[in-house]
Amino acid sequence: MATLDGSIANTALPTIARELHATPAESIWVVNGFQLAVTVSLLSFASLGDSRGISFVYRIGIIIFTIGSLLCALAHNLSFLIGARVLQGIGGAALMAIGPALYREIFPQKDLGKALGLSAVIVATGAAAGPTVGGTLLHFTTWPWLFAINVPLGIFDIFFSRSLPSTRGTHARLDLPSIVLSAVGFGAIIYGIDGFARHEDLWIIASEVVIGLIAGVLFVQRSRRLADAAPLIAIDLFANPTFSLASITSTATYVAQGLAYVSLPYFFQTALGKSPFESGLLLSSWPLAVVVVAPIAGRLSDRYPAGVLSTIGLAILALGLGLYATLPAHPSTVEILFHGMICGIGFGFFQSPNNRELVGSAPRNKTGSAAGILACARLTGQTVGAAAVAIVFGAVTATVTAGSTHAAAIVLAATPIALWAACSSATLATIASASRLLIKRPQHKIAGAR
């Protein structure tokens, strides 16, 4: 529910704006409010998981998310809806921040890869299926049902979450200055990068990013000073080269995914004239391939090094993105679906093993921090990828002659550039992933060995 709701409202924005008497620019905050709330809350909930126990944070998160969903469905004006979406995003952040850590508590170590494979399926399909699910629901009902559908599912989850394992935290006090600095840092950087999509002046974007970077530097410095006390996030995890490379690999891969997921719908709808629903179906081969491959890759990661599996997957992803970039102006449906399938196979082979290594390489008392960093890498990468599409489209717009096919001409010229950028980012991720194979880890054992 948390990953799906990040994008389920995208296709409903025109309808919401019309019915709530808002401008398109104002209605965008129905999406941005959720994403920004998730961004600024992630590390705080990850730290709360280490401090108070991850099962406790999960229960709090699902309660907040369900209440936020109900308020979204009952919203009668845009301001109320945006506020409810922010509340929903805070609950979603709690779920995303400690999800992988919770799997580590539920499953034995030898089955952690299998569990994270199932998690990868949920995250990938949820994020990709949002626009399609939203378009389908809008075809049969009204926009409040996009959020109301979460309420019975949330109540079901609240009831059955009582069966989660009892997890004890360190009971360390949360550091308020660190919470503020991390929220300002991530929030200002993400908001600033997204300024390209809002067509803000360059000096405003630069100012927002600089403020975020300053807050980020101060946050890291404070976390280092508190390393022996109770830092908001365990920065010392990055001293482990395996963890650092897994984080870099994850971020670069999600940049590639963000570039593709934003540019391809523009190509399908503007250049090929497809409806939002048809566009979602054309993109569906990617998440469907992940559904098939990720559990397999997860089970394999319990037996074989994650660096090998992830590197193979990323090479396949880069190939698929390169094929996307070479699509003709009028490709066949089979071509589009086939290239998406290749990307999905590669992404599925990357995601589960990489997540397993990132979470599994952290000490158990810092699992919450590792899970929070994993979620931040995903969200930051996707946001940077989306902003890069806005930059590419803006640059191409200035070079295309206006005319009756102006929009289609821009998209036809810009989409290959964005997809080649995605291919390049996936290639960098492949190199980072392969670098892990050079690290000597004598302690590595095949899972299940005695």
pLDDT tens for each residue of 94-125: 888 877 778 878 888 778 777 777 777 777 66
- Identify which has the larger pLDDT, 299 or 253: 253
Phi/psi zone of residue 448: left (φ > 0), alpha (ψ -120 to 50 degrees), beta? left
The CA distance from 85 to 83, in Å, is: 5
| Angle formed at CA 13 by CA 197 and CA 285, multiple of 5 degrees | 80
Q: Which CATH architecture has domain 4-174+232-436?
A: Up-down Bundle (1.20)
pLDDT of residue 398: 63
Lowest mean pLDDT among 65-74, 323-332, 382-391: 382-391
pLDDT the model gives residue 325 = 94
- The pLDDT confidence band at residue 448, using thresholds 50, 70 and 90, is very low
Residue 403: pLDDT above 50?
no
Residue 444 has pLDDT above 50, yes or no: no
Mean pLDDT estimate for the chain: 82
Q: Is pLDDT above 90 for 90? A: yes
Q: Give CA separation, 375 vs 129, 247, 410, in Å.
A: 19, 10, 33
3-state secondary structure the chain: CCCHHHCCCHHHHHHHHHHCCCCHHHHCHHHHHHHHHHHHHHHHHHHHHHHHCHHHHHHHHHHHHHHHHHHHHHCCCHHHHHHHHHHHHHHHHHHHHHHHHHHHHHCCHHHHHHHHHHHHHHHHHHHHHHHHHHHHHHHHCCCCHHHHCHHHHHHHHHHHHHHCCCCCCCCCCCCHHHHHHHHHHHHHHHHHHHHHCCCCCHHHHHHHHHHHHHHHHHHHHHHHHCCCCCCCCCHHHHHCHHHHHHHHHHHHHHHHHHHHHHHHHHHHHHHCCCCHHHHHHHCCHHHHHHHHHHHHHHHHHCCCCHHHHHHHHHHHHHHHHHHHHCCCCCCCHHHHHHHHHHHHHHHHHHHHHHHHHHHHCCCHHHHHHHHHHHHHHHHHHHHHHHHHHHHHHHHHHCCCCCCCCHHHHHHHHHHHHHHHHHHHHHHHHHHHHHHHHHCCCCCCCCCCCC
- Classify the C-alpha dihedral 17-21-26-32 as positive or negative: negative
pLDDT tens for each residue of 124-168: 667 666 767 777 777 788 889 989 989 999 999 998 888 887 777
Average pLDDT, integer, range 422-448: 76
Highest mean pLDDT among 33-37, 77-81, 263-267, 293-297: 77-81
Contact criterion met (CB below 8 Å) for 164 and 39? no
Q: Name the one residue in this structure whose structure tokens are 């295309």.
A: 400
Which pLDDT score is estimated for 399?
66
123 CA to centre of own chain = 8
User: In the prediction, which pLDDT does 65 show?
Assistant: 95
Domain segments of the chain as ranges: 4-174+232-436, 175-231
Residue 449 in this model has a pLDDT that exceeds 50: no
Per-residue pLDDT for 294 more than 60? yes
Confidence label for 24 from pLDDT (cuts 50, 70 and 90): low
d(CA 117, CA 103): 11
- For CA atoms 296, 301, 303, 308, give the dihedral sign: positive
Residue that wins the pLDDT comparison between 234 and 324: 324
Q: For residue 387, what are its two tokens?
A: 């902003």
CA distance 384 to 438: 29
pLDDT > 90 in the chain, percent: 24
Question: Which pLDDT score, from 0 to 100, does residue 11 have?
Answer: 66
Going by pLDDT thresholds of 50, 70 and 90, the confidence category of residue 371 is: confident
Q: What is the pLDDT of residue 131?
A: 67
Orientation angle between helical segments 367-397 and 333-360, nearest 10 degrees: 150
Please write the tens of the pLDDT for every residue from 182-219. Answer: 889 888 887 887 777 667 788 898 999 999 999 989 98
Asked if the model's pLDDT at residue 442 lies above 50, the reply is no
Cα distances from 158 to residues 6, 199, 381, in angstroms, run 21, 41, 31
Q: 269-283 pLDDT, tens per residue? A: 778 888 767 777 888
